[in-house]
Amino acid sequence: MTGAEVGALALLGGLLALDRVAVGQFGVSQPVVTGPLVGWLLGDPGTGLLVGGLLQLLYAGALPVGASIPPDETTAALVGTAGALVGARAAGDGVPETAIVPVGLLAGLAAGEAGRALDIWVRRANIWFAHRADAAAARGDDRAVERLALGGLVLWAVVGALSAAVLAPAAALVVGPAVTAVSAPGRTVLGGLLLAMAVVAFGSALAAMRAPRRAAIFAAAFAVGTLVIVAAARVSEPW
């Protein structure tokens, strides 16, 4: 991982941390967007979509409701994608992507928990700005209140940038050697782990869609999609 890549990831991490809570909540920090963004930075958006897409589904039910703080899915996607891509570079061509992606996903899940702890820390530290703003309001200085109300932006951006700059290279350092050390049959097991994690991700997203008859809707769309794919394959390459 080059210094320029770490710098770019830190900048991206800072901006995404702002989008996630403090500024606009436009959803650029969702894994399905973050994964491809990191993928473009590191030269493989397809893997970014795979890692980000699976994390998107896995975290679909983790909601920021009231005072409960969910795992940091943005840091998870950023670190998971970077770990998988740079890990693949380190492991070389002989190692299949299906063995690297699940290990990258696990690095992402761990980073998501670390990100949650940092998020909680920032939300505690922000109380300091609140008390300063109280003091400013008491002396009638509403310019100062305005400035202090934006204090959290600096904190969130700096913490997001630093966590990306530290956790992404750390994940990259772990993923490559870990997968290289695994034997060929072990890599097939990792491919199985990828399938299992995909099933967990789909089940998690389905559980989050708490609609009546969601299981029937899912099964029907799944069947129709499979039939269409089979029909399309028949047309393009008949057996």
Partner 1 sequence: MVTPWPWRRAARRRAAEASGRAEPASAPRGTDGGRERLPAGGKRARRLPRRLRMALVLRSLLVQATWNFERMQHLGFCFAILPVLRWAHPDPRSPARGEAVRRHLEFFNTNPIMAAAILGAAGRLEADGEGTAAQTCKLSLMGSYGAIGDSFFWGALRPAAGIAGVTGGLVWTLAGLPGGAGGGALVAALVALVLFNVPALWVRAFGVAAGARLGIGVIEIVRRVGFPELTARVRGFGAAALGLAAAVLLHVAAAHVWGAAVEGAPGGAAPAPPAGVLAAGYPIVLGAVLAVATVVARGIVPTRLAWVFAAAALAAVLVV
Residues 130-189 that bind partner 1 (CB under 8 A): 130, 133-134, 137-138, 140, 142, 145-146, 148-153, 182-183, 185-189
**Which CB sits closer to partner 1, 3 or 186?**
186
Q: For tokens 């997001």, name the residue.
A: 160
**Which CB sits closer to partner 1, 7 or 214?**
214
Nearest to 179 by CA among 105, 90, 110: 90
Contact with partner 1 (CB under 8 A) among 15, 16, 22, 172 = 22
Nearest to 35 by CA among 22, 21, 20, 54: 54
By CB under 8 A, which span of 2-10, 83-91, 127-135, 159-167 interacts with partner 1? 127-135
16 binding partner 1? (CB under 8 A): no
2 binding partner 1? (CB under 8 A): no
87 binding partner 1? (CB under 8 A): no
Q: Burial code of 64-89, b = ≥16 C-beta within 10 A, e = fewer?
A: eeeeebebbbbbbbbbbbbbbbbbbe
Q: For residue 192, what are its two tokens? A: 């199985």
The minimum distance between CB 143 and partner 1, in angstroms, equals 9
Q: Which of residues 27-86 bind partner 1 (CB under 8 A)?
A: 27-28, 30-33, 35-37, 39-40, 44-49, 52-53, 56-61, 63-67, 71
Q: For tokens 């699940």, name the residue.
A: 102
The minimum distance between CB 119 and partner 1, in angstroms, equals 10
3-state secondary structure 43-89: CCHHHHHHHHHHHHHHCCCCCCCCCCCCCCHHHHHHHHHHHHHHHHH
98 binding partner 1? (CB under 8 A): yes
